[in-house]
Structure 1
Amino acid sequence: MFKNKQKTTLIVLTVAALIVLALVVWRIDARPRTDDAYAYADTITVSPEVSGRILEQPVRDNQLVQKDALLFRIDPATYEAALKQAQAKLAGLNRQIELTQRSVNAQKFSAGSAKASIASAQADAKKAADTLRRLAPLLSQGFASAEEVDQARAANASAQSRLQSLQLQAKQAEAAVSGVDALVAQRAEIEAQIDIAKLNLEHTEVRAPFTGRVASLKTSIGEFVSAGKPVFTLIDTTHWYVIANFRETELKNIQEGTPARVWLMSDTGKTFDGQVDSISYGVLPDDGGSIIAGLPAVKRNINWVHVSQRFPVKIRVTNPDPHLFRVGASAVATLQPR
């Protein structure tokens, strides 16, 4: 009797253990959970677009700044001088174009009259040349006097000179017009220089493109900064994420929009809701194979047996606590697939 009771108890315990094991397996499959996770936010490196010495820096390291707030101001003297120089060049060129245009207008008027007289001058020149050709042979025969021949030669030379003068006036007018065109082209170039100078002057003030926290600030007033060289990092605190590494066997029921619940190691008493934003489609393999630059490296903890690879799942937190969330903070994530 006692043996039968022990056997019954053993059977009950075995069945209970199997039920508990099945529940655990079901829960793991239904609600994947991982503590291989960390908090994340988008960041940018704040770099000036112009070089110069910092005159003003109203922010400090780890400070929260609002969108469009002044981060630092570079000495604008060089860029103000460049703008004034370009504006002075433009004013001088405009004056030169104005004077040249007046000259062109006068030459155009003269050229217009000259063109109207060119046909008459050509006819006069032809008539004078014909008269000279007709009288010159008659001089030796005594049918024309030397005075008449000299007058014909003078008339021919005068007609040719007048024709050449009128043709020269027309060419000068055409050359003057092309000269004005060249000056107008120079004006467009100087106007572009003015636009660049204004843009450079605007870039001496560096402002926050979004609300965030200053990080890794190691410069101060008086520091010379170069265009394109990072000065500090700005963390976008308007959107927070948790990057959670889940086994590949747990990804089949996970998709964008899958509800999630996360909490941070710094305060496990607070939980935060979220949704899956995206799932990584590539990680850096650590067991051989091709190496693809730029992919996240997720190491396997056990290297003497084949274990499932883990892939990062990006979870967007809907109600983050700005005082708890920090980039890189340890986190735990539980997904709730539909």
Structure 2
Amino acid sequence: MSRQLGLLLGILIPCVIGAGVWWWARDVSAPTAWHGYAEADYVKVGPTQQGLLTELNVARGAEVSVGTPLFVQDETADRAARDQAARQLQQACDQLANLEAAGKPTEIDQAEANLADARATVERTKIDLDRAESLIKNGAVTVQTLDQRRSDYQSATARVAAMQAALAQTRAPMGRKGEIEAQRAAVDAAKAALEMTEWRLAQRRVTSPVAARVADVLARPGETMAAGAPVVSLLPPGNIFVRFFVPEADLARMHRGDTVGLACDGCRGDIHAVISFVSPQAEYTPPVIYSEESRAKLVYLVEARPAPEQAVLFNPGQPIAVVPLARAP
């Protein structure tokens, strides 16, 4: 009996040692792999101002490009405000044009005619004055008459100056300089008010800011939306990333810019991602991470972002296995 037991132990001990060596070698040679899941940064699009949602132009799962209409709010009040601002601007422009305009054509013609008459009077009185000055030498006219001719000439000359000023005033803008500057400022203010109302009106029709897939629709026509409240949730391909957790022992191998390999059920084997974030704080293994050795231990959160053309292969929440690759230069 003891001989048989010794023979059995002689067989079992080498087998156990061999199995242990095999297990140790398999565990050592097995490549390091961390478990994680796909995550996404959603672009939630909402209105810039409160209003009634009247149209919804997309459905969940639809692909949209930049500029694709997403939804429309009631724009009745904004359209009326835009029309009012446009009319106020036109009124301000008309008032400015009136202040900058000269007198009526008939008024200018009358002023020119008065100036011509005054100039003719100057010529006539000048002739009379010259004649009186030549006749006074031989006593043909009196000194009183000469003084009268000189006075008539001076009066006619002054009237010409007055008529020239009247013509210049008729041709000048009707408003004073200060009035014109004030009205120009009013025109600028009316233009700004029109631009503001046009912007508010345009904001009632919201389009997609990015090319993406509609991840969710969060509101329906008939709902009154507050400013900033999301109506449509978009998922651009480049916003999908992988979030995984590494133990403290592997933390020294994690660097921002390093490349890691990604694997999942049914995925091809050449998917890579670049580490974009390494958490500086430790945390306990999240319950959503199930590994072969799931147990409470400290780990560090790491995020890696694949190229947009590869990111579309994942869906948020999908389990991902991450393996280290060569560090990026």
Shorter-chain TM-score: which interval?
A: 0.5 to 0.7
1:83-102 mapped onto 2 (5 Å cutoff)? 83-102=82-101
Cα deviations across residues 292-312 of structure 1 (Å, max 9, x unaligned)? xxxxx9579755xxx333222
CA distance, structure 2, for counterparts of residue 8 and residue 57 of structure 1: 76
Structure 2 CA distance, aligned partners of 1:10 and 1:195?
90
- Residue identity in the other structure for 1:316: P
Q: How many angstroms apart in 1 are the aligned matches of 2:302 and 2:260?
A: 16
Distance 1:53 1:25 in 2: 63
**How far apart in 2 are the matches of 1:23 and 1:330?**
24
The superposition leaves residues 226-265 of structure 1 with CA deviations (integer Å, 9 ceiling, x where unpaired) of: 32222232122355322111113213223324231221xx
Number of residue pairs aligned between Structure 1 and Structure 2? 254
Identify the residue that residue 274 of structure 1 maps to in structure 2: 272
CA RMSD in angstroms, aligned pairs only: 3.9
Q: How does 1:106-185 map to 2 (within 5 A)?
A: 176-185=176-185
> Which residue does the alignment assign to 2:259?
258
Amino acid at match of 2:91: G
Rounded to whole Å, the distance in 2 between the matches of 1:254 and 1:218 is: 38
Q: 1:318 to 1:73 in 2, by over 3 A?
A: closer
Residue 164 (structure 1) aligns with: none
Aligned counterpart for 1:310 among listed residues 287, 300, 308: 300
Which residue number in structure 1 is paired with residue 39 of structure 2? 40
In structure 1, what is the Cα distance between the partners aligned to 2:63 and 2:99?
59
Shift of 1:8: 8.3
Contact 1:247 1:311 in 2 (8 A): no
Q: SS of the counterpart of 1:234? A: strand
Q: Is the 8 A contact 2:37 2:243 kept in 1?
A: yes
Q: Tell me the equivalent position of 1:24.
A: 27
Bigger radius of gyration: 2
Amino acid at match of 2:21: L
Aligned mates of 1:336, 1:298 — CA distance in 2: 24
The answer to which of 70-79 and 327-336 deviates more is 327-336
Q: Report what 2:51 is aligned to.
A: 52
Query: Following the alignment from structure 1 to structure 2, what is the Cα–Cα distance between the partners of residues 216 and 280?
Result: 29
Per the alignment, do residues 227 and 284 of structure 1 end up closer, same or farther by CA in structure 2, a change over 3 Å counting? farther
Q: Is the 8 A contact 2:282 2:301 kept in 1?
A: no
Q: Which residue in 2 is equivalent to 1:136?
A: none
Bigger shift: residues 186-195 or 76-85: 76-85
Question: Secondary structure of 2:217's match?
Answer: coil
**After the TM superposition, which of the residue ranges 270-279 and 93-102 deviates more from structure 2?**
270-279
Q: Where does residue 75 of structure 2 map in the other structure? A: 76
The aligned amino acid for 2:279 is: Y
Paired position in structure 1 for 2:245: 245
Unmatched 5+ stretches in structure 1:
107-168, 287-296
1:309 match: secondary structure: strand
Deviations 1:197-217 (A, max 9, x none): 222222122111222232342
Letter in 2 for 1:259: V
The CA deviation at 1:61 is 2.7
Q: Which amino acid aligns with 1:209?
A: P
- 1:125 is aligned to none
Separation in 1, partners of 2:177, 2:307:
68
**Cα distance in 2 between the residues matched to 1:25 and 1:337:** 19
- 3-state DSSP of counterpart to 1:270: coil
Report the identity percentage: 20
Q: Is the 8 A contact 1:261 1:271 kept in 2?
A: no
Residue type of the partner of 1:309?
Answer: V
Q: CA deviation at 1:74?
A: 2.0
Deviations 1:149-174 (A, max 9, x none): xxxxxxxxxxxxxxxxxxxx9xxx9x
TM-score relative to the length of structure 2: 0.64
Q: Does 1:331 align with 2:329?
A: no
Q: Which residue of 2 aligns with 1:212?
A: 212
1 CA distance for matches of 2:38 and 2:307? 10
Distance 1:201 1:284 in 2: 49
Which whole-Å CA distance do the structure 1 matches of 2:238 and 2:212 have between them? 7
- Output the CA distance in 1 between the equivalents of 2:32 and 2:70: 43
> Does the CA contact (< 8 Å) of 1:41 and 1:327 recur in 2?
yes
Q: How many Å separate the matches in 2 of 1:60 and 1:318?
A: 23
Go from structure 1 to structure 2 and tell me whether the alpha carbon gap of 1:16 and 1:285 turns closer, same or farther (over 3 Å shift): closer
Match of 2:127 in 1: none
TM-score (norm 1): 0.62
Extract unaligned runs of 5+ from structure 2.
108-168
What's the offset of the Cα at 1:6? 5.8
